[in-house]
């Protein structure tokens, strides 16, 4: 569960879709080629922090920094199954809008009280692994299976039926 606390109100949703971005070698990653900018600096820091960035001139996106300091890898939160009172979360921009996440949370440690992940003990589900969404033009990286999701009506893009 991804939890966001604002002024004593707790908003949450169950993580149902994420994508991995594997750092300098990954042509779809913001840190491709070792690119280090004020925007990407958080990814080069310690794991367990939020990397929040603005995209397409209208959407905030939330990532979790995942590797040791100096290794800029992150996981993009693509979709949540919304908890009570939380709006639609089927896409990275909708996730941040529903949980009131913006640049103010960039670099915060993923721990209470602001933004954190907990295991609520929900039964395990089958995890499907597919290519990432929206990474066309990145050569072999666009076909890499780095999107992880469960079968849910809340996905940003439904799974293809076998």
Structural domains of the chain sorted by starting position, each given as residue range(s) with its CATH number in brackets: 2-149 (3.10.300.10)
Average pLDDT over residues 60-75: 97
Question: Which CA distances in Å does 141 have to 8, 21, 123, 133?
Answer: 42, 10, 32, 11
Residue 126: partners with Cβ closer than 8 Å, 6 or more residues away: 150, 151
Whether the bond into 113 is cis, omega within 30 of 0 = yes
**Vertex 104, ends 150 and 55: CA angle to 5°?**
60
Q: What is the pLDDT of residues 101-131, one digit of tens each?
A: 999 999 999 999 999 999 999 999 999 999 9
| Reported pTM | 0.94
Average pLDDT over residues 133-162: 91
């Amino acid at each position: 569960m991804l939890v966001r606390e604002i002024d004593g109100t707790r908003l949450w949703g169950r993580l149902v879709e994420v994508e991995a971005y594997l750092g300098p070698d990954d042509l779809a990653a913001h840190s491709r080629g070792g690119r280090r900018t004020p925007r990407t600096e958080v990814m080069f820091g310690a794991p367990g922090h939020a990397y929040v960035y603005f995209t397409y001139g209208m959407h905030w996106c939330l990532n979790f920094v995942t590797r040791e300091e100096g290794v800029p890898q992150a996981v993009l939160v693509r979709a949540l199954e919304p908890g009570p009172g939380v709006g639609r979360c089927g896409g990275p921009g909708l996730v941040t809008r529903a949980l009131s996440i913006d640049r103010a949370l960039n670099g915060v440690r993923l721990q209470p009280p602001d933004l954190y992940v907990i295991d609520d003990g929900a039964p395990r589900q089958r995890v499907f692994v597919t290519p990432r969404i929206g990474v066309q033009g990145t050569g072999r990286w666009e076909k890499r299976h780095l999107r992880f999701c469960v079968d849910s009506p809340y996905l940003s893009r439904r799974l293809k039926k076998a």
